[in-house]
Amino acid sequence: AKDFYLPGMLYTLGLAVAYLGTAAAGVPLIGLILGPVFKENLSWRTRNPGRKKAYTKASYAWGLILLA
């Protein structure tokens, strides 16, 4: 029972690192998830710079929220 919260904390830390790392690399995780949902796949990266910027901001926001 001593390490009951540890798996959840490590999972959340991993998600935060994934969101922040992919946003810093220029391929935000939010875009990778929502691209296929909106039937764009990865075309949003080149065809719509505004959407890429929004996905990047959202990925940074989620990463920071998960670290809080």
Per-residue three-class SS string for the chain: CCCCCHHHHHHHHHHHHHHHHHHHCCCCHHHHHHHHHCCCCCCHHHHCHHHHHHHHHHHHHHHHHHHC
Q: What angle do CA 22, 28, 29 make, to 5 degrees?
A: 85
Percent of the chain with pLDDT over 90: 87
- The reported pTM is 0.87
In a domain, 4, yes or no: no
In a domain, 25, yes or no: yes
In a domain, 47, yes or no: yes
In a domain, 5, yes or no: no
Instruction: Residue 20: give the domain boundaries.
Output: 10-67
Does 16 score more than 90 pLDDT?
Answer: yes
How many domains does the chain divide into? 1
pLDDT band at 1 (very low <50, low <70, confident <90, very high): low
In a domain, 1, yes or no: no
Segment 41-67, tens digit of pLDDT: 999 999 989 999 999 999 999 999 999
